[in-house]
């Protein structure tokens, strides 16, 4: 596993801060939080299970057995099953988080139930446990499931309160997105499988359903047909809440001025008005990602759509890329929809599917308005790639994705598109304006997953596909990999792949990509939308943090929620170094330093001894860390 200097810097910074705060050492022994120093002016401090290092169990809450959870346990073990900070939003001193539970085990169940891969559950679990040496979460030891939850995290104190859970409310929550509207928080996704929207009153913590796209009977009928029905797209446009959904008529977009009342939701776009672009079956791209993201830009509503279907696939290993449509309100209150990225010949789109004809891997796109432009981040189709690797022992789809890591574009008010991050090609012969190649120069960056504007800057987080492929990297590239382990891997691959014939050439090619990879998500920041500063390219020093999945803007600053299907999601406080000094006791530190300077030689001597001890501790920690990494 690749070493990281930045992790060491994090340990050193933690000890240095402790050394300056000498007065507090005498008063109270406190555990030093894990701190990641980017080396580029930004620092991240781990606030969930802050006493526990990276690459250890987190998940925000604690698993207490038999499918039950607890919060704020002293020396709590964490919950590996709460894999992602998924639908998340900041409010006051809190970050509200809807988690994704058992991300990859759920994905495998979709493959089994909806895509016809009839594997044995026990064999699959044994295989994953072997492949990942037990690092991948494949279920609780007691066989029970806690399922997805909604919680609120006090970012000042670290205190957690669970608002919705199987144990507390009898619900399995799957919230993908969240927005604030008129003083209330709205979460969209599914609860107990039904596509719905929940309202949370941050003053009382009351949680109630305000919209359901289907009844249980309608859901069951759709499920049998292979329809993926969860709600993903949601935003605020002017003074209305805008949501997407799959109902019995297909994909729709609705608006509401008063979302407390389900009857207030009015359909403003049908599948037909969206040019029949939405792909919403499990066999489609991004597992039927459909209406993927929405945002207001200028006076218009822009909607990115997953369009790839088996019938319009470009070839066996290439699905049709994403589309983008624009919605404009007419004088009579109706909406007019225009294809911007889509079918140029039949629908009059300005750009072909995926914007650039040579870009064929992105099944979806994420959107954000910043600095007078609409920014468009590519999102490659990983689900089909994973399916092919697991059940066909074929890495071709994944290799083509690695060949085209994600681009980052921006569009102006006249819908002229510029390439910001990306390789040169016929459409953009000069490459990206940032000077950075596709994937920010890293083939493993396969999603521009989450973006946020904070304090006049745009933060851009990625999904790193290499983290999921750690076993292949070990198998193909680690000369010291245990042969007995390799033999076991071969055995399980043979059981899961009916036509197994040994290691394919596509696996060799994929291994070559992984040999160059830095494991863990990337996070970048820009003030002008063109020039980027790298905050991390290794998941805050944790290779299992494969995605930057959530941001929360609170009164205490900007917070980051990770996607980690191995040891559970983490939440980090992100600060510029100047902000860290100001908000993390900078005044107190300076007071302590001044007190040292004004004290007599005896006091200086005592404090000098203490600082010496702390520095010795730092050296010891570094030695332990290096020894640990060498093993």
What is the pLDDT at residue 577?
85
- Alpha carbon distance 295, 244 (integer Å): 12
Q: Are 363 and 380 in contact (CB under 8 A)?
A: yes
Q: Answer with the residue of higher pLDDT: 624 or 400.
A: 400
Q: Are 44 and 35 in contact (CB under 8 A)?
A: yes
- Give the three-class secondary structure for 419: strand
**How large is the average pLDDT for residues 320-342?**
98
pLDDT at residue 249 tops 90: no
**How large is the average pLDDT for residues 459-481?**
97
pLDDT at residue 75 tops 70: yes
What is the pLDDT at residue 597?
35
* Cα-Cα-Cα-Cα dihedral sign, residues 323, 328, 334, 338: negative
Q: Are 128 and 136 in contact (CB under 8 A)?
A: yes
At residue 27 the predicted structure's pLDDT band, cuts being 50, 70 and 90, is: very low
Q: Answer with the residue of higher pLDDT: 63 or 104.
A: 63
Q: Are 258 and 240 in contact (CB under 8 A)?
A: no
Q: Are 60 and 572 in contact (CB under 8 A)?
A: no
What is the pLDDT at residue 363?
98
Tell me which range, 96-110, 210-224, 432-446, is most confidently predicted by mean pLDDT: 432-446
What is the pLDDT at residue 500?
83
Q: Are 279 and 267 in contact (CB under 8 A)?
A: no
Which of 222, 136, 129, 229 minimizes the C-alpha distance to 188? 229
Which of 269, 61, 79, 291 minimizes the C-alpha distance to 176? 291
What is the pLDDT at residue 110?
85
Helices (H), 396-482: 396-403, 470-477
Helices 5-20 and 601-630 meet at what angle, rounded to 10?
A: 160
Angle at 49 between CA 474 and CA 90, to 5 degrees: 105
pLDDT at residue 440 tops 80: yes
- Alpha carbon distance 87, 176 (integer Å): 4
pLDDT at residue 630 tops 60: no
Q: What proportion of the chain, given as a percentage, has pLDDT over 70?
A: 87
Number of Cβ within a 10 Å radius of residue 33: 19
**How large is the average pLDDT for residues 93-105?**
96
For residue 382, give Cα distances in angstroms to 189, 199, 444. Answer: 20, 31, 11
**How large is the average pLDDT for residues 459-466?**
98
What is the pLDDT at residue 499?
82
Phi, psi of 400 (to 5 degrees): -65, -35
Q: Which pLDDT tens digit goes with each residue over 156-209? A: 999 999 999 999 999 999 999 999 999 999 999 999 999 999 999 999 999 999
pLDDT at residue 31 tops 90: no
pLDDT at residue 613 tops 80: no
- Alpha carbon distance 138, 306 (integer Å): 29
Q: Are 515 and 507 in contact (CB under 8 A)?
A: no
Q: Report CA 41 to chain centroid distance, whole Å.
A: 23
What is the pLDDT at residue 578?
67
Q: Are 366 and 304 in contact (CB under 8 A)?
A: yes
Beta-bridged to residue 65, according to DSSP, are: 68
Which of 555, 586, 436 minimizes the C-alpha distance to 20? 586
What mean pLDDT value characterizes the chain?
89
User: Which long-range contacts (C-beta less than 8 Å, at least 24 apart) are formed by 496-503?
Assistant: 496/119, 496/123, 496/124, 496/127, 496/390, 496/391, 497/391, 497/392, 497/393, 499/392, 499/393, 500/393, 501/393
What is the pLDDT at residue 498?
79
Place of tokens 């999945």: 549
Q: Where are the domains of the chain?
A: 1-47+571-631, 103-138+359-551
Q: What burial class does residue 30 get, using C-beta atoms within 10 Å of its C-beta: 0-12 exposed, 13-18 middle, 19+ buried?
A: exposed
Q: Which pLDDT tens digit goes with each residue over 527-570? A: 999 999 999 999 999 999 999 999 999 999 999 999 999 999 99
Look up residue 407 and give its DSSP letter.
P
Q: Are 377 and 406 in contact (CB under 8 A)?
A: yes
pTM: 0.88
What is the pLDDT at residue 349?
98
What is the pLDDT at residue 21?
37
What is the pLDDT at residue 7?
39
Q: Which pLDDT tens digit goes with each residue over 577-611? A: 865 443 333 333 233 323 323 333 334 334 343 33
- Alpha carbon distance 547, 115 (integer Å): 25
DSSP string across 270-285: -TTTTTT----BTTSG
- Alpha carbon distance 261, 256 (integer Å): 9
């Amino acid at each position: 596993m690749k070493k990281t200097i930045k992790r060491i810097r994090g340990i050193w910074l933690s000890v240095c801060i402790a050394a300056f705060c000498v007065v507090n050492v005498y008063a109270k022994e406190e555990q030093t939080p894990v701190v990641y120093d980017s080396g580029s002016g930004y620092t991240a401090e781990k606030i969930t299970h802050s006493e526990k290092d990276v690459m250890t169990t987190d998940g925000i809450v604690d698993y207490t057995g038999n499918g039950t959870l607890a919060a704020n346990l002293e020396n709590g073990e964490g919950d590996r099953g709460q894999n992602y900070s998924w639908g998340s939003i900041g409010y006051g001193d809190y970050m509200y988080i809807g988690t994704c539970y058992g991300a990859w085990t759920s994905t495998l169940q979709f493959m089994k139930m909806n895509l016809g891969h009839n594997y044995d559950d026990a064999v699959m679990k044994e295989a994953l446990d072997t492949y990942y040496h037990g690092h991948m979460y494949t279920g609780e030891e007691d066989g029970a499931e806690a399922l997805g939850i909604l919680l609120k995290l006090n970012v000042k104190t670290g205190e957690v309160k669970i608002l919705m859970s199987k144990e507390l409310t009898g619900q399995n929550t799957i919230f993908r997105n969240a927005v604030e509207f008129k003083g209330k928080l709205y979460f969209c996704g599914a609860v107990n499988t039904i596509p719905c929207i929940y309202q949370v009153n941050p003053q009382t913590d009351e949680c109630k359903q305000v919209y359901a796209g289907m009844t249980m009977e309608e859901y069951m009928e759709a499920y049998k047909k292979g329809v993926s029905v969860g709600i993903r797209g949601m935003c605020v446009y002017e003074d209305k809440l805008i949501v997407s959904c799959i109902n019995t008529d297909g994909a729709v977009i609705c608006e509401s001025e008063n979302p407390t009342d389900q009857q207030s939701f009015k359909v403003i776009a049908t599948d037909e008005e969206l040019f029949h672009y939405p792909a919403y079956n499990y066999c489609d791209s991004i597992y039927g990602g459909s209406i993927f993201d929405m945002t207001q830009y200028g006076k218009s509503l822009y909607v990115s759509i997953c369009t790839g279907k088996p019938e319009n696939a470009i070839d066996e290993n290439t699905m049709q890329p994403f589309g983008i449509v624009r919605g404009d309100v007419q004088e009579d209150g109706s909406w007019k929809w225009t294809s911007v990225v889509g079918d140029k010949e039949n629908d009059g789109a300005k750009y072909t599917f995926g914007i650039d004809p040579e870009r064929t891997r992105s099944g979806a796109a994420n959107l954000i308005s910043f600095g007078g432009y609409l920014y468009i981040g590519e999102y490659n189709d990983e689900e089909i790639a994973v399916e092919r690797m697991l059940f066909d022992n074929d890495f071709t789809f994944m290799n083509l994705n690695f060949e085209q890591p994600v681009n980052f574009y921006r569009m102006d008010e006249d819908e002229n598109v510029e390439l910001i991050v990306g390789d040169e090609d016929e459409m953009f012969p000069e490459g990206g304006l940032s000077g950075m190649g596709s994937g920010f120069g890293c083939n493993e960056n396969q999603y521009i997953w989450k973006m946020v504007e904070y304090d006049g800057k745009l933060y851009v987080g990625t999904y790193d596909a290499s983290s999921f492929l750690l076993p292949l990297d070990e198998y193909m590239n680690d000369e010291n990999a245990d042969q007995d382990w390799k033999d076991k891997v071969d055995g399980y691959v043979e059981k899961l792949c009916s036509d197994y014939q040994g290691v394919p050439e596509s696996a060799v090619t994929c291994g070559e990509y992984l040999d160059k990879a830095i494991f863990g998500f990337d996070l970048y920041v820009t003030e002008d939308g063109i020039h980027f500063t790298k905050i991390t390219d290794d998941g805050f020093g944790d290779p299992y943090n494969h995605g930057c999945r959530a941001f929360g803007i609170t009164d205490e600053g900007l917070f980051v929620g990770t996607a980690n299907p191995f040891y559970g999601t983490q939440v980090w406080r992100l600060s510029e170094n100047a902000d860290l000094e100001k908000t993390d006791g900078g005044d107190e530190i300076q007071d302590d330093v001044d007190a040292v300077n004004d004290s007599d030689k005896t006091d200086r001597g005592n404090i000098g001894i203490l600082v010496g001890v702390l520095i010795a501790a730092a050296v010891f920690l570094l030695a332990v860390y290096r020894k640990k990494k060498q093993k």
